Amino acid sequence: MSNPEFTIIIPVRNGANYIGAAISSILSQSYPHFRIMILENGSTDTTIQIVNAFADDRISIIPSTSSLNIEENWSRIRDLDLMEYLTILGHDDILYPEFLAEIVELITAEPSASLYQVQFEYIDSNGDFVRHIPKITYKETASQFLAAVMDEKEECCGTGYVMRSNDYRQVGGIPAYPGLLYADVVLWYRLSNLSYKVCSPKTLVGYRVHPQNMHRNANFSRYYLATRQYYDFLRTSTDLKDKPEAAHTYINQQLQLSYRIAVVQAILSPNEGRIQLQTAKREIAEDGLFTLYDRPARVYEAIPPLPSWLRQIVLLPIIWRRVLRRFLASH
């Protein structure tokens, strides 16, 4: 078997805080047969200067001709001159040195697989460990993968997955859901459906969580649009088309959880966040498909009219419950 060759794509816009670490992590790979394509999207910070400072001929910058949204920028991947295998790295994430070598081992062991993955862990803005994820099964069909995601037994992110470039094009690339929310799940399902997915037991990716990328509920209206598209995908998928109630129940639970989080964020944010929530509530009510409110949401909504000092007291248990959950998850 000849040495597999990889194209590593880094989509980025204004990623100066982290892109240097991302590129360094690739250049530190023990397996050498790769090239890096920076899918640059009109950065106005020092992103381009940082990339150019590496002066490595394996790195190329693919500029955009105009300012693109994240969906448009990622859609350019399909048209690039790609090597046999493709992986996409978030500009703020990092690959550990044996990532590509381990993927080569997986390809050798499972040449019929259509998606290759390693375990990942969460790191913070400083690169420090936050928590592990639940162990992902070594081999999964598309049906098993989707069931694990819906049962919350498997966490999913856009980094750490490797596929054949031709397969990526065959399934249409990553779907253009607003903000790419849930788009990675759909893409991995479609790729796994070509054959099956395998995952190494080794943790070789650091997925960074920091305020700038915690965008899931930053605009709840946009989040709902993506969730609605995800619901349409689920209820028409081969696995759930005969069980539409399962897709509806799952999405309704996701919306309720995200709405509670969004309400807390809006309480702590300027009025704009609350206006966005009101708009989203109207849209969801007009859609008539989902029940947004549950008891915790109604409790949270009662907090904003309270005096600021009392709001902080009421929010403390919520905040500390999250801190405790994170602590327990990391131990």
Flag whether pLDDT at 4 surpasses 90. Answer: yes
pLDDT tens-digit series, residues 279-294: 777 778 888 888 876 6
pTM: 0.87
- At 293 the pLDDT is 64
Which among 119, 121, 147 has a CA at the least distance from the CA of 132?
121
55 versus 194: the higher-pLDDT residue is 194
Question: What pLDDT, on a 0 to 100 scale, did the predictor assign at position 272?
Answer: 55
**Residues 6+ positions from 138 with CB-CB distance below 8 Å:** 198, 199, 200, 201
**φ and ψ at 91, to 5 degrees?**
-65, -15
pLDDT of 119 higher than 70: yes
Q: pLDDT tens digit string along 129-184?
A: 999 999 999 999 999 999 999 999 999 988 999 999 999 999 999 999 999 999 99
Which range (58-72, 194-208, 227-241, 278-292) has the least confidence?
Answer: 278-292
- From the list 289, 314, 290, 316, the residue with the least C-alpha distance to 301 is 314
- Whole-number pLDDT of residue 311: 62
Q: Enumerate the domain spans of the chain.
A: 6-212, 216-329
What's the rounded Cα separation, in Å, for the pair 231 and 244? 10
Is pLDDT above 80 for 193?
Answer: yes
Mean pLDDT lowest for which of 44-58, 115-129, 274-288, 294-308?
294-308
Work out the pLDDT band at 103, boundaries 50, 70, 90: very high
Whether the predicted pLDDT of 326 surpasses 50: no
From the number of C-beta atoms within 10 Å of its C-beta (0-12, 13-18, 19+), residue 274 rates as middle
Confidence of residue 221 (pLDDT cuts 50, 70, 90): confident
Tell me what pLDDT residue 292 has: 73
Q: Which of 147, 10, 19 is nearest to 74 (CA)?
A: 10
How far is 176 from 196, CA to CA, in rounded Å? 23
The CA distance from 53 to 12, in Å, is 16
Confidence of residue 255 (pLDDT cuts 50, 70, 90): confident
Residue of 202, 215, 19, 237 whose CA lies nearest to 120: 202
pLDDT at 94 over 90: yes
Kindly state the percentage of the chain with pLDDT values over 70: 81
Convert 91-129 to b/e letters by CB count within 10 Å (16 or more is b).
Answer: bbbbbbebbbebbbebbeebeebbbbbbbbbbbeeeeee
Report the mean per-residue pLDDT for the chain. Answer: 87
Which pLDDT does position 211 carry in this prediction? Answer: 63
| Per-residue pLDDT at 296 | 64
Task: Please tell me the CATH code under which domain 6-212 is placed.
Answer: 3.90.550.10
